[in-house]
Amino acid sequence: MDASLILFPFADYWWFYGGFTLFVLGMLALDLGVFHRDAHEVKFKEALGWSVAWIALALLFCYGFWHYAQWKLPTDPRLLAAGMTALQAATLANQTALEFLTGYVVEKSLSVDNVFVFVVVFSYFAVPAKYQHRVLFFGILGALVFRIIFIALGAALMQLHWVIWLFGIFLILTGVKILFAPEKPIDPEKNPIIRLLRKIIPVTPKLDGQNFFVRHAGVLHATPLFVCLVFLEVTDIVFAVDSVPAIFAITKEPLIVFTSNVFAILGLRAMFFMLAGVMHKFRFLKYGLGLILVFVGLKMVWLNEAFGGKFPVTWSLGIIGALLTASVAVSLALPPRATAVIIPRSTG
């Protein structure tokens, strides 16, 4: 079979992309319009419940996707024309489901970076706990839009072999930087986007409830809550530069990259509220994330070719899971002597 063949091309599956997008928008509307209509502090128990719900939805989707692939691929005319047997098509269906699961785990793991930043930024802007969900809701809505753009660009660029090498080398260098570069504190005021924003629109010195904008003497002002939102959006764009290529190292299927990315992002808010108070305990987690990026970079530039064009996805899932589990286990076994906030990646 042609290694460049896309199993789920957009031209044939536009209806799925549209339906999935409507589903996501519906879930977000239900989240903000029903469950979080009134601003309140999200406690651990509530965050845990939402985390379990989002993970369950992702696993349910993976199960349904696997069943669909088992039904669809053995009768795909393009695979039949390539001489693929029904047994080979069924094996390919199993692989696509595992690719979704592996991509989901990779994106979920790298999302921990965002949680570190959320903790620091909310503290910097003194955002009360009851307003943090609103900021994250719109922040993640914007993140979904930017991720879609990155995935569309990535799907087109990944057709070029030299781009695969470029992304792979970038992921390796990013992973090495996480492992060895000194940690850099976050200072939103030094961010050029925030400086530009303050030149475009006046910013109030204090929050005004959960409002992003207010009017004073007929002049529209942004509140620090909006400045916080913009900074989080910029941060996510920076993080997407390596997290999206990381999933393309797992699978070349844009549909799998898109859905696994979206499910991971949807659970990001719940992850933050569940882990925000204990993030300082995972001081070795950044090393696990750095090694994961090095591994997926090596998949792009070497391992896939070394294994006949495709590194076994089951091995990828096992290696990524082992690195993540080990870094968490070591963090818990060797707790820090003093509380400290660690920022794995620079956002400047």
How would you write the pLDDT of the chain (348 residues) with one tens digit per residue? 555 688 999 999 999 999 999 998 888 888 766 666 676 778 888 888 989 999 999 999 999 999 999 999 988 888 888 888 888 888 899 999 999 999 999 998 888 878 888 888 888 888 888 888 889 888 888 888 888 888 888 888 887 888 889 989 999 999 999 898 877 777 777 778 888 898 899 999 888 888 999 998 888 999 999 999 998 888 888 878 878 888 898 998 999 999 999 999 988 888 888 887 777 788 898 899 999 999 999 998 988 888 877 888 889 999 999 999 999 999 989 887 654 444 455 444
Tokens describing residue 138: 């719109």
pTM above 0.95, yes or no: no
- Classify residue 179: in a domain, yes or no: yes
CB 273 within 8 A of CB 135: no
Residue holding tokens 């057709």? Answer: 159
Domain count, the chain: 1
Taking each helix axis as running N to C, give the angle between helix 10-30 and helix 254-266, from 0 to 180 degrees, rounded to the nearest 10.
Answer: 10
> Looking at residue 249, what DSSP letter applies?
T
Cα–Cα distance for residue pair 348/242, rounded to 1 Å: 15
Residue 214 CB contacts under 8 Å (≥ 6 apart), including other chains: 204, 208, 220, 221, 223
CB 120 within 8 A of CB 188: no
Residue among 193, 262, 249 nearest 54 (CA): 262
- Classify residue 322: in a domain, yes or no: yes
Q: How far apart are the first and last CA of the chain?
A: 44
Helix (H, G, I), strand (E, B) or coil at 125: coil
Cα–Cα distance for residue pair 40/33, rounded to 1 Å: 13
Residue holding tokens 């390539």? Answer: 82
Q: Which domain holds residue 317?
A: 10-333
DSSP run (H or E) holding 219 = strand 219-222
- Classify residue 314: in a domain, yes or no: yes
- Classify residue 255: in a domain, yes or no: yes
- Classify residue 339: in a domain, yes or no: no
Tell me the C-alpha to C-alpha distance, in Å, between residue 138 and each of 21, 25, 32, 192: 16, 12, 10, 21
Tokens describing residue 291: 């090694």
What is the helix, strand, coil percentage profile of the chain, to 5?
75, 5, 25
Cα–Cα distance for residue pair 3/245, rounded to 1 Å: 18
CB 324 within 8 A of CB 109: yes
- Classify residue 343: in a domain, yes or no: no
Residue 109, Cα to own-chain centre: how many angstroms? 8
